[in-house]
Protein backbone atom coordinates (compact mmCIF):
# COMPACT_ATOMS: atom_id res chain seq x y z
CA UNK A 1 0.00 0.00 0.00
CA UNK A 2 1.39 3.34 -1.06
CA UNK A 3 0.66 6.49 0.97
CA UNK A 4 1.15 9.85 -0.74
CA UNK A 5 -0.58 13.00 -1.78
CA UNK A 6 -1.22 12.00 -5.31
CA UNK A 7 -1.37 14.36 -8.24
CA UNK A 8 -4.45 16.22 -7.00
CA UNK A 9 -2.95 16.77 -3.55
CA UNK A 10 0.34 17.98 -5.00
CA UNK A 11 -1.49 20.49 -7.17
CA UNK A 12 -3.47 21.78 -4.18
CA UNK A 13 -0.30 22.18 -2.11
CA UNK A 14 1.58 23.90 -4.94
CA UNK A 15 -1.27 26.31 -5.67
CA UNK A 16 -1.73 27.05 -1.96
CA UNK A 17 1.96 27.90 -1.57
CA UNK A 18 1.83 30.10 -4.68
CA UNK A 19 -1.27 31.99 -3.44
CA UNK A 20 0.20 32.48 0.03
CA UNK A 21 3.45 33.80 -1.47
CA UNK A 22 1.62 36.10 -3.87
CA UNK A 23 -0.58 37.59 -1.15
CA UNK A 24 2.41 38.03 1.17
CA UNK A 25 4.26 39.95 -1.54
CA UNK A 26 1.14 41.99 -2.29
CA UNK A 27 0.80 42.88 1.41
CA UNK A 28 4.46 43.94 1.68
CA UNK A 29 4.13 46.04 -1.46
CA UNK A 30 0.96 47.74 -0.20
CA UNK A 31 2.63 48.59 3.11
CA UNK A 32 5.70 50.03 1.36
CA UNK A 33 3.54 52.14 -0.96
CA UNK A 34 1.61 53.48 2.03
CA UNK A 35 4.81 54.42 3.87
CA UNK A 36 6.24 56.15 0.81
CA UNK A 37 3.02 58.05 0.31
CA UNK A 38 3.06 59.23 3.93
CA UNK A 39 6.71 60.27 3.66
CA UNK A 40 6.02 62.23 0.48
CA UNK A 41 3.04 63.94 2.13
CA UNK A 42 5.16 64.91 5.16
CA UNK A 43 7.86 66.30 2.85
CA UNK A 44 5.30 68.38 0.94
CA UNK A 45 3.81 69.66 4.21
CA UNK A 46 7.23 70.58 5.58
CA UNK A 47 8.19 72.41 2.38
CA UNK A 48 4.90 74.33 2.40
CA UNK A 49 5.41 75.32 6.04
CA UNK A 50 8.98 76.44 5.28
CA UNK A 51 7.75 78.60 2.38
CA UNK A 52 4.98 80.07 4.54
CA UNK A 53 7.39 80.92 7.36
CA UNK A 54 9.83 82.41 4.87
CA UNK A 55 7.10 84.62 3.41
CA UNK A 56 5.93 85.67 6.88
CA UNK A 57 9.42 86.67 8.03
CA UNK A 58 10.41 88.56 4.90
CA UNK A 59 13.88 89.16 3.48
CA UNK A 60 15.42 90.39 6.77
CA UNK A 61 13.95 88.30 9.59
CA UNK A 62 13.99 89.57 13.15
CA UNK A 63 14.24 87.23 16.12
CA UNK A 64 11.00 88.43 17.75
CA UNK A 65 9.07 87.92 14.49
CA UNK A 66 10.57 84.44 14.18
CA UNK A 67 9.53 83.56 17.76
CA UNK A 68 5.95 84.71 17.15
CA UNK A 69 5.61 82.91 13.82
CA UNK A 70 7.30 79.69 14.92
CA UNK A 71 5.40 79.56 18.22
CA UNK A 72 2.18 79.53 16.24
CA UNK A 73 3.46 76.60 14.13
CA UNK A 74 5.00 74.33 16.78
CA UNK A 75 2.44 71.94 18.13
CA UNK A 76 0.05 72.44 15.22
CA UNK A 77 -0.42 69.35 13.12
CA UNK A 78 2.85 67.49 12.73
CA UNK A 79 5.23 70.40 13.33
CA UNK A 80 7.60 69.47 16.14
CA UNK A 81 10.20 72.16 15.69
CA UNK A 82 11.32 75.09 13.56
CA UNK A 83 14.85 76.34 13.03
CA UNK A 84 15.93 79.46 11.16
CA UNK A 85 19.52 79.08 10.11
CA UNK A 86 20.35 82.34 8.41
CA UNK A 87 19.50 85.99 8.12
CA UNK A 88 19.82 86.65 11.86
CA UNK A 89 22.84 87.09 14.11
CA UNK A 90 22.15 83.73 15.75
CA UNK A 91 20.03 80.81 14.57
CA UNK A 92 16.51 80.74 15.95
CA UNK A 93 15.12 77.46 17.26
CA UNK A 94 11.67 76.55 18.47
CA UNK A 95 10.67 73.04 19.59
CA UNK A 96 12.58 69.91 18.53
CA UNK A 97 15.16 70.70 15.85
CA UNK A 98 18.22 69.15 14.30
CA UNK A 99 16.35 66.16 12.86
CA UNK A 100 16.29 65.13 9.23
CA UNK A 101 14.77 65.63 6.66
CA UNK A 102 15.53 69.31 6.38
CA UNK A 103 13.42 71.61 4.21
CA UNK A 104 14.58 74.99 3.08
CA UNK A 105 12.47 77.74 1.62
Question: For each of the chain's 105 residues, which pLDDT tens digit applies?
Answer: 567 778 999 999 999 999 999 999 999 999 999 999 999 998 888 888 888 877 777 777 777 777 777 777 777 667 777 777 765 556 666 666 665 555 554
DSSP codes, 12-36 = HHHHHHHHHHHHHHHHHHHHHHHHH
According to the model, what pLDDT value does residue 31 have? 97
Phi, psi of 82 (to 5 degrees): -135, 135
Round to whole Å and give the CA distance between 83 and 102.
10
How many residues can be counted in the chain? 105
According to the model, what pLDDT value does residue 77 have? 67
According to the model, what pLDDT value does residue 33 have? 96
According to the model, what pLDDT value does residue 37 have? 95
According to the model, what pLDDT value does residue 97 have? 65
Q: What is the pTM of this model?
A: 0.59
According to the model, what pLDDT value does residue 55 have? 79
Amino acid sequence: MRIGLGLRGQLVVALSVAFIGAFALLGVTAIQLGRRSQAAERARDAAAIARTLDAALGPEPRFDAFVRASSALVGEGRVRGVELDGGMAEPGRQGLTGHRPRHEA
